[in-house]
Structure 1
Amino acid sequence: MARQPPTPDPDVPLRLLLVEDSELDAKLLLRTVRQAGYVVEHRRVDTAVDLDRALASEPWDAIVSDYSMPGFNGLQALAIAIESGLDLPFIIVSGTVGEDVAVGTMKAGAHDYLLKDNLTRLVPAIEREMREAQMRATSREAGRQLRRSEEKYRSLVESASEHLFMLDRDGVFAASNWRSFPCGRVTSGPLAGHALEDILPPEEAERYRGHLGKVFRTGEPVEFEHELVESGGLRHHADTLYPIHGEHGITYVGGICRDITELKNAEAESLDLQAQLVQAQRLEAIGTLAGGVAHEINNPVNGVMGYADLILRRLAPDSREAEFAQEIKHETNRIATIVRNLLSFARQENELPAHVRLGEVIDATLSLVRTVMRHDQIALDIEVGDDLPCVNCRSQQLQQVLMNLMTNARDALNERYPKHDGNKTLVLKAETFQHDGREWARITVEDHGTGISPEVQERMFDPFFTTKPRDRGTGLGLSISHGIITEHGGRLSVDSKPGEYTRFHVELPTAETYAAETPGDAP
């Protein structure tokens, strides 16, 4: 880098590279410079090779060159200096330089030309050109720093996950850090020069222009949220628009667009969890209430049954009145069975596993759901034999599983068939089968309702996962059911085809199989 010597400095020598074949003329040049107070270090060359070596080996402040030398001239020397890439003052000095030659050397890149018989301009010319060289060097360095700064901030902006942009009054992008946009007609390339309508649906672009106009009118920032259907689905965005002021007011509006889809999803999941917790607490309260109501109903039911027995004793067995009394007793027994099953289902105390007839658990569950199914015009197709084996289980928990599966089937049928339909049937089958040489029992709950998609099947046993509205499900039913059956050493599986059918299979080892596999624990 060339230095800037405003005045001669004895501690800093002036380094001159002389392109001169005459040693006498070189001494004359040096004497002129030294008379101005400079300490001079120099080197004299008179061939292209020597000039090239001198430029490559040492730093110089200026080059002073004769125009005409044997086998070499100033224009050739100038070309070598320019080719070296060094920004050094290059001054032509000659004994006979015509105006046309002088103009030619200046056009070729020389900074000044002088006559040897008038060297009074030599030092001022050197000083002037050194200052200008210093200014050019400073400008280049500033340019390099500016480019580095621009590259750094451009890299930061372009790597930002947020969309940073500038819009003019016409809603046209003046700048953007995104090279593509996930929706609209602009899918690749710079967004600058494109209007809002090129990347947003018409209605959304119109709303956006409303926010843009408000910033230009009021000079105040605007924050808002909006949704866009992109290639990956629905995305939520939070945008901030703010004014950018110029000499004549607001010239542009800057914008920051953040994708808040994950935040919105998290908020929705939080609301779901809260609703599910409230629903779970509500169900717990209903269970407690059901147990209390069952106890309260049990007493008058026993009273009705007792009075029916008294009436029967006073009537002739074949009388019409005795038939009515017998019907009262039959219906009262049915109420008592329902109350008993409701009380068993609602009770909260821990129940120990026991050998239970599978048919009795199924009958108890059916007694609780028949009225609901009849109300929803759902036919029940029960295929349960009388010779079903015993299973080792907590009957209350197994009843809970069957209730849950039948309730889900009911919901699917009601969704597909809101009114009466010949296909609105819930099928419940119970059978035995062999597994690894041992007897197992299988209960199948089948419906021909809406069916379940493969994506939902993958997650349906996860806690709190539900496809129902918040006020109709907790997302815990299938998860709890799966845990209950697994704890009993069984399996709960699903087979479904969307729009056709759904089958849930509850498979449990029979009591004999359970006793054979766990003899020490069998009751």
Structure 2
Amino acid sequence: MAERLRILHLEDNPNDADLVKGLLETDGLACDLAVVENRADFAAALERGDFDLILSDFSLPSYDGRSALLLARRRCPDVPYIFFSGTIGEAAAIESLKAGATDYVLKQWPARLVPAIRRALSEARESEERKRAEEKLRQVQEQFTGIFNSSKDAIGYATLDGLFLEVNAAFEKLTGHSKEELLVKTHQALTPMEYRRTEADIVNTVVRTGEPAEYEKEYIRKDGTRVPIEVTVFAVNGSDGTPAGLATIVKDITQRKIAERRRTAQYAVTSVLAESPTLAEAVPNILRPICESLGWELGALWFVDEAANVLRFVELWRAPQTSVPTFEAHTRQMVFAPGEGMPGRVWTTAQPLWIPDVIADSNFPRAPFAKQEGLHAACGFPIVSGDKVIGVLEFFSREIREPDRDLLQMLHAIVTQIGQFGERTLLAAQLRQAQKMEAIGLLAGGIAHDFNNLLTVINGYSDLTLESLAPDDRNRGSIDQIKKAGKRAAALTSQLLAFSRKQILQLKVVELSQLVRNIEPMLRRLISEDIQLTTTFAADLGTVKVDSGQIDQVLMNLVVNARDAMPKGGRISIQTANIELEEGAVRKQISVPAGSYVTLAVSDTGTGMTPEVQARIFEPFFTTKQPGKGTGLGLPMVFGIVKQSGGHVLVSSEPGRGTTFTLYFPLARDSVERDERARTQVEALGGSETLLVVEDDDSVRTFTCQVLRGQGYRVLEAKDGHHALLLCEQHKDPIHLVVTDVVMPDMSGREVADRLTPCRPETKVLYLSGYTDDTIVHHGVLDPAIAFLHKPFTPDVLLRKVREVLATPHPKS
């Protein structure tokens, strides 16, 4: 059912009111007609009701239509107002329409009334709908304006030519320009030249197709810096439906680009590290991806030379368009001490350093060359492995650049990654080295026992045979060659044991300078006349606790190596010094723990070594000499002896610049021990005492007993520990000395001695062994109270040692 119309009718003639009602009903317009005759009733009706239409006579006895119109327009301006009158003239009708009347119908033409009512109602509905639409549009516009002004993305409207018509606050913030400045600029004015052609093609496509487009470029900010942005551009159509302008939404993608650069750099670094077995091989290849992804035009790498305590140049990369020949040449030649220049400061502090303009920096030695070739900003970063700085990366730019926190964070992440890789590869190398050492140690220990037993017999019988031959015997030369070969074999075994730290060290407090003085004549005989040997000794040199015989071997090996590195002559320098290594900056520069040390350095002016060779010089059997010229055990032996003595070895070398080996020995803080066992010439090596020889190797036992019996000793033989104890039980007379092998099946020599002591407390013990064993030594160091003879031994050495032990007062007496 249709909704009934509510009509207010101002009419003083009841017949006319009935006429109107009839006309409406006849035409099918259901309505409620409220008829009033005067102003008071009209005004009251307006206050009461919500009418759809007002009909009014123009002339009434107590009121007039024009006044009613004005009142209605004030009270309900949107309700249609139609005059239905027989007296309104044309002029009055026109004035009424101007005053707000919707229409007028003369009573003489009643048939026109209903169409006029329908028309007025239709127009009112259209007007209402239009107002509602306009209100909605106004609300939307207000919302859009709020979004436009508060959006974090920059939004702008421009002509098809790119001239800005409107921009929001975010656009001002992004570009650094005020709104007034932007409204006289174009998109092109903010766009770097290299993006303009591509952007023009994109905009043309958007205008032609009507499809929006997204792309990336940069804006030039008011301060001249660039900001990376992502642009979404739309074509805005005019009233005729054709493109009339451009709308752009611009996002600042700085953080995205930073993240992309970080990922790119880290991926490149990760790829290089994954393909590199060592840090030394990896880092030079890392410079390029770091510089390219992070916007540096030049990068350099420095590694710490621990022995010389300096930073040495390793590698440099520069962008193809960057030409800095003078700066590059000086960089390649420079060496930095701690705290010197940017690399030295980074090394000392273990912290990154940013210099906005190196030309203005007072501690930048290369500043004149940087100024000459237009380098300004620089950044240095430490490469830290564990708790020490092992190298420094430095980067340069032609621009003056203030510290960039994002860039520093990226570099920190990358350099941390490099340092962690270095730490992992170092630990892996140490593990491999430890496993290799353990394997060779087991091998050396395994062969040393049997091999030294064999050499004891070979060398011993060679001596006995030579003593028995006449001076002119033709066999003397052959036996002598056997003896020499045996000595070389014994030296080789000794080197294996030294490398694997299986040597038995007889430590005493000594002064290294005096050791060098003692062996210097022998060292001079090892080198040729075209090599100069110089020595420099520190005054008041501290003492160290070492095996002097082993240090002699170390010196001879280092001098021979230096000699072989100078085939055309040169200079070898031996130097001693006191040094104090403290925690902190110095501690981070070399791989030696903090403490007090005495150093022994051997330097040469020879060919030097590449980093690849340096990495392998302590590997057993590794040698760069021609076949037959070296065993590859000399330097491993040096390393093993120094390490077993509690010391450290540092190497500094460059191709063409010679080599320095620096040995660090912990300061002993004790006075020099005199060798109380130093013997004067003993005329009588024999005796009549009773000796018990315990040795599981038949040949060694036979040889030992033969030598001792030959000098008058009464000798009891035992092939193992159990046999030795049985002999002691059966033999009722004194046994003055037990000469026992240390390593034997079932029962060691130490166990034999321990079980004999309770029943024969006056019996002395002399131990024989070819390698270290915790039975009588502690970590390779012999207890000073223990009498010991190292295999292989000669008859003369055996007899002197036996006589020495027998002549020494018993510890318990």
Q: TM-score, normalised by structure 2?
A: 0.35
Aligned-pair CA distance for 1:66:
0.5
In the other structure, the counterpart of 2:201 is 214
Measure, in 1, the Cα distance between the counterparts of 2:513 and 2:199: 77
In the other structure, the counterpart of 2:184 is 194
Aligned-pair CA distance for 1:88:
1.6
What secondary structure, in the 3-state scheme, does the structure 1 residue paired with 2:28 have?
coil
Aligned-pair CA distance for 1:112:
1.8
Measure, in 2, the Cα distance between the counterparts of 1:235 and 1:278: 30
Give the letter aligned to residue 217 of structure 2: E
Aligned-pair CA distance for 1:73:
1.0
Closer, same or farther: CA 212–72 of 1 in aligned 2, 3 Å? farther
Q: Is the 8 A contact 1:229 1:235 kept in 2?
A: yes
In the other structure, the counterpart of 2:84 is 93
**Does residue 226 of structure 1 match 2:468?**
no
Aligned-pair CA distance for 1:65:
0.2
Equivalent of 1:76, from 43, 67, 77?
Answer: 67
Closer, same or farther: CA 145–88 of 1 in aligned 2, 3 Å? same
Q: Is the 8 A contact 2:154 2:170 kept in 1?
A: no
Aligned-pair CA distance for 1:272:
3.1
**Does residue 116 of structure 1 match 2:103?**
no
Measure, in 2, the Cα distance between the counterparts of 1:234 and 1:224: 17
In the other structure, the counterpart of 2:422 is 282
Please give the per-residue CA displacement for 1:96-128, whole angstroms capped at 9, x wherever unaligned.
222222222222221221222321111111111
Aligned-pair CA distance for 1:147:
2.1
In the other structure, the counterpart of 1:244 is 235
Q: Is the 8 A contact 1:287 1:346 kept in 2?
A: no
Measure, in 1, the Cα distance between the counterparts of 2:10 and 2:587: 116
Measure, in 2, the Cα distance between the counterparts of 1:190 and 1:50: 63
Measure, in 2, the Cα distance between the counterparts of 1:39 and 1:72: 28
In the other structure, the counterpart of 1:168 is 159
Please give the per-residue CA displacement for 1:174-194, whole angstroms capped at 9, x wherever unaligned.
443337613778424695x43
Q: Is the 8 A contact 1:236 1:264 kept in 2?
A: no
In the other structure, the counterpart of 1:309 is 518
Give the letter aligned to residue 223 of structure 1: Y
Aligned-pair CA distance for 1:207:
5.2
The answer for unaligned runs of 5 or more in structure 1 is 1-8, 316-323, 368-523
**Does residue 128 of structure 1 match 2:268?**
no
In the other structure, the counterpart of 1:104 is 95
Measure, in 2, the Cα distance between the counterparts of 1:207 and 1:24: 87
Please give the per-residue CA displacement for 1:469-505, whole angstroms capped at 9, x wherever unaligned.
xxxxxxxxxxxxxxxxxxxxxxxxxxxxxxxxxxxxx
What secondary structure, in the 3-state scheme, does the structure 2 residue paired with 1:123 have?
helix
**Does residue 258 of structure 1 match 2:245?**
no
Aligned-pair CA distance for 1:250:
5.5
Q: Is the 8 A contact 1:180 1:190 kept in 2?
A: no
Aligned-pair CA distance for 1:92:
0.7
Aligned-pair CA distance for 1:230:
5.7
Measure, in 2, the Cα distance between the counterparts of 1:218 and 1:175: 23
Equivalent of 2:36, from 45, 53, 59?
Answer: 45
Please give the per-residue CA displacement for 1:322-351, whole angstroms capped at 9, x wherever unaligned.
xx8763688745378599999997559xx8
Q: Is the 8 A contact 1:227 1:236 kept in 2?
A: yes
In the other structure, the counterpart of 1:380 is none
Measure, in 1, the Cα distance between the counterparts of 2:106 and 2:221: 78
How do 1:345-424 and structure 2 match up within 5 A?
A: none
Q: Is the 8 A contact 2:159 2:165 kept in 1?
A: yes
What secondary structure, in the 3-state scheme, does the structure 2 residue paired with 1:182 have?
helix
Q: Is the 8 A contact 1:15 1:62 kept in 2?
A: yes
In the other structure, the counterpart of 1:24 is 15
**Does residue 153 of structure 1 match 2:144?**
yes
Percent identity, please: 22
Closer, same or farther: CA 143–123 of 1 in aligned 2, 3 Å? same
Q: Could you say which structure has the larger radius of gyration?
A: 2
What secondary structure, in the 3-state scheme, does the structure 1 residue paired with 2:45 have?
helix
Aligned-pair CA distance for 1:309:
1.7
Measure, in 1, the Cα distance between the counterparts of 2:254 and 2:523: 77
Aligned-pair CA distance for 1:283:
7.0
In the other structure, the counterpart of 2:576 is 334
Measure, in 1, the Cα distance between the counterparts of 2:580 and 2:185: 70
Give the letter aligned to residue 59 of structure 2: S
The answer for unaligned runs of 5 or more in structure 2 is 263-406, 434-497, 504-510, 525-532, 540-572, 602-813
Q: Is the 8 A contact 1:171 1:212 kept in 2?
A: no
Equivalent of 1:60, from 51, 62, 83?
Answer: 51
Q: Cα RMSD (Å) of the superposition?
A: 4.8
Moved more, 267-276 or 77-86: 267-276
Q: Is the 8 A contact 1:180 1:189 kept in 2?
A: no
In the other structure, the counterpart of 1:486 is none
What secondary structure, in the 3-state scheme, does the structure 2 residue paired with 1:105 have?
helix
Closer, same or farther: CA 164–305 of 1 in aligned 2, 3 Å? farther
Measure, in 1, the Cα distance between the counterparts of 2:523 and 2:106: 155
In the other structure, the counterpart of 2:285 is none
What secondary structure, in the 3-state scheme, does the structure 2 residue paired with 1:128 have?
helix
Measure, in 1, the Cα distance between the counterparts of 2:427 and 2:538: 28
In the other structure, the counterpart of 1:401 is none
Closer, same or farther: CA 245–84 of 1 in aligned 2, 3 Å? closer
Q: TM-score, normalised by structure 1?
A: 0.51
Q: Is the 8 A contact 1:18 1:42 kept in 2?
A: yes
Measure, in 2, the Cα distance between the counterparts of 1:36 and 1:310: 140
Q: Is the 8 A contact 1:163 1:177 kept in 2?
A: yes
Moved more, 45-54 or 180-189: 180-189
Aligned-pair CA distance for 1:313:
10
Measure, in 1, the Cα distance between the counterparts of 2:9 and 2:87: 18
Give the letter aligned to residue 20 of structure 1: E
Give the letter aligned to residue 172 of structure 1: L
